[in-house]
Amino acid sequence: MHAAASATHRMTRPDSHSHSSMNTQRISRVIPVVSVLAAVLGGCAALSEPPAVQAPAPVEMRLPDTLPSTPMPPAQGPVPAVPGEGRFVPGFPPRVQEQDARRFVYALLPPGVTREREEWAADIVSAFMGLRLVPSAENFCASIAVIEQESSFQADPVVPGLSKIVWREIETRRKRYLIPKMALDAALSQPSRNGKTYRQRINALKTERQMSILYGDIIDELPGGKLLLSGYNPVRTGGPMQVSVAFAEAHAREKPYAGATNGKVRGAVFTRRGGVYFGIAHLLDYPVSYSSRLYRFADFNAGHYASRNAAFQLALGKLAGQKLVPDGDLLRYEDGRPSAVASATQKAASRISRRLRLNEVEIEAALRQEKEESFGRTKLYQRVYALADEMAGRAVPREALPQIRLKSPKITSKITTGWFADRVNTRYRSCMNRAAAVPDLQPAWSNGTRL
């Protein structure tokens, strides 16, 4: 909808003095090539815009730290094609119940998932255990619906026409920076680690993971590549849930992920297990009080609390007599960080600051919490809604679908965040129908789980 392990192989440099002049010549020859690649491949960043990085908040769907011990029958081998007996008990996630969880998820997966069905069930359950999320039918189905929408249960989904997209971006970048075509051709004709030229590898690209590995090879293989390119990889989302690499890295800083390769979270995002783990974290590992899962699905696409913030923008706009686009971003952002330039939302709040009994500093301080649960407890949020409710003579909505047109070289049709949320919600309802068909496997605490 909206990617890859950087190669760990590094070039071995000779230590003997007899090779020094050869190395000097090689470096002087290659660095211009890397400089061209730095400018050219940077254009591929348009493949996916990075969401604002936000620290994951505690989730209300937690399991207690101390769990009652409940006798369970021993696990019965691999997950069967026809789900077996068993019910969840509050003792989850002890290992004795892991097979029961897998059987339930196995039954919830779409019928079309025939490849690695057991492995998908195992990785989803593993994510819930690692994140300590309540393993309810609602939570499992929400996760399954997003995976189905984003990748159709492909760990490294194919992006149709990816090589054409990359070439188009490269040509645009070349013209923008006045890079001679001859220099570009020379750069891309250099052989890479696997013996193929960079041009050949671009022509063969099918997935974002391959693109990220290619970029990592440029960093690792070419002298000067690490100096010029390290820390900047154009592939920003990936895996079966198309989760942001930046989000995964931020989440792992708060909750270290054991599956990271050599401590690198980026590579884990592109695996089935890691992509599912961080995708479910982005979907469920923060507290909201929405009336429907639809808004959580919108948040998955537009950013945490975007649905809450969009409703706030609508309420504020009516108070200020100003039309605000309910996109869920209360501040203006540049490179994922709040800009010094005031947003339309901030200006609207400032316009009625006397009615709100808040000064400019207080308004900005509140808006800076827009990606956190705490924004709902600020004086700005509470006073805007108090006035909006009074003006409307009723409680105005606290949630709304963000109005965002999704743009990317990968997207060829006109789609929005609302379209995405609706599609996922349809898949979610289908999954809940499958859950109703296996009542003997329903978790004992699935009813009443908060959204």
Residues 199 and 335 in one domain: no
Residues 384 and 316 in one domain: yes
- What is the per-residue pLDDT for 102? 92
- Among 377, 392, 407, give the residue marking a domain's end: 392
Residues 297 and 379 in one domain: yes
- What is the per-residue pLDDT for 31? 47
- Among 234, 251, 268, give the residue marking a domain's end: 234
- Distance between CA atoms of 58 and 8, rounded to whole angstroms? 34
| Single-letter residue type at 70 | T
Cβ neighbours of 11 (radius 10 Å): 11
In a domain, 223, yes or no: yes
In a domain, 372, yes or no: yes
- What is the per-residue pLDDT for 21? 42
In a domain, 69, yes or no: no
- What is the per-residue pLDDT for 91? 44
In a domain, 195, yes or no: yes
- What is the per-residue pLDDT for 321? 96
Residues 230 and 305 in one domain: no
CA-nearest of 206, 78, 214 to 154 is 206
Low-confidence ranges of the chain (pLDDT < 70): 1-96, 173, 218-219, 221-235, 261-263, 407-413, 442-451
Unique residue bearing structure tokens 């913030």: 309
Residues 307 and 219 in one domain: no
Residues 201 and 338 in one domain: no
In a domain, 8, yes or no: no
- Residue 192 structural domain: 17-52+162-234
- Distance between CA atoms of 136 and 435, rounded to whole angstroms? 10
Number of domains in the chain: 2
In a domain, 7, yes or no: no
In a domain, 116, yes or no: no
Could you tell me if residue 191 is left (phi over 0), alpha (psi between -120 and 50 degrees) or otherwise beta? beta
- What is the per-residue pLDDT for 12? 32
In a domain, 74, yes or no: no
Residues 385 and 313 in one domain: yes
Residue pair 300/282 in contact (Cβ under 8 Å)? The answer is yes
Taking only the tens place, the pLDDT of each residue in 334-373 is 877 888 899 999 999 999 999 999 999 999 999 999 999 9
- Among 392, 425, 443, give the residue marking a domain's end: 392
Taking only the tens place, the pLDDT of each residue in 2-26 is 433 333 232 333 333 334 444 444 4
